[in-house]
Amino acid sequence: MNWIIKQNENQDKNIDSSKIKETGIIGSLRWWYEALVRGYGGYACDPSNSECKFDYDTYEKTKNIEDGLEKVCPVCRLFGCTGWSRRFRLEIKDAQKIPLCLSATSKSDYRHTKLDNLWWLKQIYKKSEKVFFDDNICIEIHTINKINENFDEEDIRNMVLFLFAVISKQGSIGAKIQNGFGVFDIVTVIDKNRLSRGLEKTKELAEIKQGGQVNFPSFNDFFSLTYSVSNDSIYIQPEKFFGTLNSLLKNRFVPSGFSIKYDLRKKIKNDSTPCKAICSNFEYLCKGENEKMVRKTISRFLFGSDKDKFSAKINFTHLYKDKENENYLLNVFGFVPNKVSFENKTLEFNIRSIKNILYIEFGNPYNEEYGVSCLSEVIK
């Protein structure tokens, strides 16, 4: 999916509503920006349980905007909170819906896995008969107001542009990234100097309020692997389909990254070898508990739980065509801490080992990024 990003300085608010809801994009942008701020050592509140609030009474006494913002975290200064509006808005144009059609193929030899795979796809996408897709979706960034004298409207545009560039290069966007959606490419030529200034201003914003946080996404724990998948891979071959027949006849089906994610989850849940590779204290944990239960805990932490509403730490995009050749590309990315407490166990991970698990099927990734240092690659 190609996105045209525009930096619009027009303050006109009389704009027709977009077909893609702005709220879904904004929520995802905020989630990524929280990880950015934490990666630079800043504090980012949990918006579902936030105490951030603009102190209007104090501001009225001093007329100093910083007095009103004293209890507002860096992320809320940009995205808004009680008493403080978001500093920008998005206008989304030219987004069209097409019928959804996914191919579900499994390499797993585990009993019923292929049927389970298709069943899960139907459960996830049964209410999504169509998806947003277009060669060019236009997103305009409208700044509403500055944060303070150190963060004016131009700074805000640069920070939002930098955020879009990070997500485009390293991950995906929207409310369904855990299901493989949200991959996009920015076709607008963006001045690298603007991205560089957006990076520096994000660092500066993070410094306003520092604070270590656990169990929240941080770019210190980030990884991104990109694989080139040849057309003869079993995951490209259309074995089972979910979607509409018309899109299938037009050869518009998308190879499902969920199939790969599901196979890897099954492998970790049922085999100690990948568990040993990715969890450095796996054997130690097995000394005090049944190995099967330890494998299940690792699998639940990495891949989430629909039942307990626990989000996945590893995400797989659907496969998409490489612009430079006919092969498909697959992005695997996520936030996995080195050490975490989960289900009364202390899990220690070596996330760089995940590529060893994927090596058998896909070889080495042609691009891999780890930690906050990958953010500098965006502006090169």
Whole-number pLDDT of residue 41: 94
Q: What is the CA radius of gyration of the chain?
A: 22
222-246 pLDDT, tens per residue?
999 999 988 777 777 665 555 554 5
Whole-number pLDDT of residue 188: 83
Written as one string, the DSSP assignment of 289-347 is S-HHHHHHHHHHHHH-BTTTTB--SEEEPPPEE-SSSS-EEEEEEEE--SEEEETTEEE
Range with lowest mean pLDDT among 25-39, 89-103, 106-120, 168-182: 106-120
- 45 three-class SS: coil
Q: In the predicted model, is pLDDT for residue 33 greater than 50? A: yes
Contacts of residue 17, defined as CB under 8 A and 6 or more positions apart, other chains included, come to none
Question: Which amino acid, 269?
Answer: K
Q: In the predicted model, is pLDDT for residue 12 greater than 90? A: no
277-335 pLDDT, tens per residue?
999 999 999 998 899 999 999 999 999 876 667 788 999 998 888 777 778 899 999 99
Whole-number pLDDT of residue 87: 95
Tell me what the mean pLDDT of segment 219-224 comes to.
94
> Which of 93-102, 304-313, 336-345: highest mean pLDDT?
336-345
* Residue 161 and residue 195 in contact, taking contact as beta carbons nearer than 8 Å: yes
Written as one string, the DSSP assignment of 280-296 is TTHHHHHHHS-HHHHHH
155-212 pLDDT, tens per residue?
999 999 999 999 999 999 887 777 788 888 888 888 999 999 999 999 999 999 998 7
DSSP run (H or E) holding 206:
helix 192-206
Whole-number pLDDT of residue 112: 46
Whole-number pLDDT of residue 10: 40
Range with lowest mean pLDDT among 3-7, 52-56, 88-92, 220-224: 3-7
